[in-house]
């Protein structure tokens, strides 16, 4: 099942994707999936980020190939960081190069987990029962802030618009075997499979649930594979007018243009 959040006639709704229509539901998807009877043509609505997460957790260096290209040691446990919830944006919304740090902004295609019910101290075996579904994410990162200027990652990962999510939440996905890719201006820059994660989704949910209560709607960005811009020779950073497309097999494509801050 695909669950979208969308704007139609000035109102925000959640709905279930049914062919070329959306069947609106009452409340939020983790409160039950009761359809209201109202339907909207998919082509006529504006898709929004599929959740407004209370927290956005993120995992660094979760693919061996990306740890290698970053010249970092393989982590012995998940490397957890946070992105500001206010950095979330939706499909086709511009990622804005911040005036404060416009020069080294980079893309990161990631599978994003959406939590479906309160989750605290769960085992790996039961962890995925707490997941509502999965969506495409882009862990946009200002590398100068992240790697050179600051001693930790909060600012470089949290600028407004630095967390595109969408186009919808897919509830029926094997998160441990999905092709993932990112195209920049039509050219494939990243391509891998989620089977190459060092710590798979069930491990991440269980591990994070030992730290804190994962609340419904919370998002876990599960790390990016190789091919990011700062590791390339020459390096590639985002410029105004660029277009990014994150695709995950079984979910779809999340596309975002890039623009300069006005």
Measured at the CA of 175, the angle between CA 173 and CA 176, to 5 degrees, comes to: 130
- C-beta of 218: minimal distance to Mg ion in Å? 16
Contacts of 102 (CB under 8 A, 6+ apart): 260, 261
Neighbours of 86 (CB within 10 A): 14
Q: Does 108 bind Mg ion (CB under 5 A)?
A: yes
Q: Does 106 bind Mg ion (CB under 5 A)?
A: no
- C-beta of 250: minimal distance to Mg ion in Å? 20
Binding mask 77-96 for Mg ion (x = CB under 5 A): --------------------
State the DSSP string of 230-261. GGSSS-----TT-EEEEEETTTEEEEEEEEE-
- C-beta of 207: minimal distance to Mg ion in Å? 16
Nearest to Mg ion of 25, 109 (CB atom):
109
Stretch in the footprint of Mg ion (CB under 5 A) among 130-138, 139-147, 164-172, 229-237: 139-147
Which of positions 190-229 make contact with Mg ion (CB under 5 A)?
224
Stretch in the footprint of Mg ion (CB under 5 A) among 18-26, 133-141, 163-171, 242-250: 133-141
Residue 51: C-alpha distances to residues 20, 37, 108, 165, 214 (Å): 21, 21, 19, 8, 14
Nearest to Mg ion of 62, 209 (CB atom):
62
Asked whether 57 and 220 are in contact (CB, 8 A), the reply is yes
By CB under 5 A, name the one of 139, 144, 226, 242 that touches Mg ion: 139
- C-beta of 183: minimal distance to Mg ion in Å? 17
- C-beta of 223: minimal distance to Mg ion in Å? 6
Nearest to Mg ion of 209, 224 (CB atom):
224
Stated as kind and residue range, the H or E segment containing 95 is: strand 95-97
- C-beta of 99: minimal distance to Mg ion in Å? 23
Name the residue among 200, 219, 62 with its Cα closest to residue 127.
200
Asked whether 194 and 222 are in contact (CB, 8 A), the reply is yes
Residue nearest to Mg ion (CB): 139
Asked whether 216 and 53 are in contact (CB, 8 A), the reply is no
Asked whether 169 and 136 are in contact (CB, 8 A), the reply is no
- C-beta of 157: minimal distance to Mg ion in Å? 8
Nearest to Mg ion of 2, 66 (CB atom):
66
Stretch in the footprint of Mg ion (CB under 5 A) among 67-75, 118-126, 135-143, 200-208: 135-143
Residue count at the site for Mg ion (CB under 5 A)? 3
Residue 261: both structure tokens together:
């801050």
Nearest to Mg ion of 122, 182 (CB atom):
182
CA distance 193 to 23: 31
Site residues, Mg ion (CB under 5 A): 108, 139, 224
């Amino acid at each position: 099942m695909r669950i979208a959040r969308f704007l139609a006639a000035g109102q925000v709704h959640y709905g279930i994707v049914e062919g070329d229509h959306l069947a609106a539901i009452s409340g939020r998807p983790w409160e039950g999936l009761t359809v209201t009877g109202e339907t909207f043509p998919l082509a006529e609505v504006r898709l929004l980020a599929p959740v407004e997460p209370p927290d956005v957790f993120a995992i660094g260096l979760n693919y061996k190939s990306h740890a290698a290209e970053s010249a970092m040691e393989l982590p012995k446990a998940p490397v957890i960081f946070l992105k500001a919830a206010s950095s979330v944006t939706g499909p086709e919304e511009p990622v804005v190069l911040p005036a404060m740090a416009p020069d080294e902004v980079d893309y990161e295609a990631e599978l994003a987990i959406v939590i479906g019910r309160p989750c605290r101290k769960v085992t790996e075996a039961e962890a995925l029962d707490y997941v509502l579904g999965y969506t495409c994410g882009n862990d946009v990162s200002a590398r100068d802030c992240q790697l050179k200027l600051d001693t930790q990652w909060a600012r470089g990962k949290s600028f407004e618009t630095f967390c595109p999510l969408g186009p919808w939440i897919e509830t029926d996905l094997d998160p441990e075997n999905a092709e993932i890719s990112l195209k920049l201006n039509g050219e494939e820059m990243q391509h891998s499979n989620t089977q190459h994660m060092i710590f798979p989704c069930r491990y991440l949910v269980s591990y994070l649930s030992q730290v804190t209560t994962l609340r419904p709607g919370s998002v876990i960005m599960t790390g990016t594979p190789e091919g990011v811009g700062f590791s390339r020779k020459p390096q590639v950073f985002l410029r105004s007018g660029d277009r990014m497309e994150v695709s995950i097999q079984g979910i779809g494509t999340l596309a975002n243009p890039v623009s300069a801050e006005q």
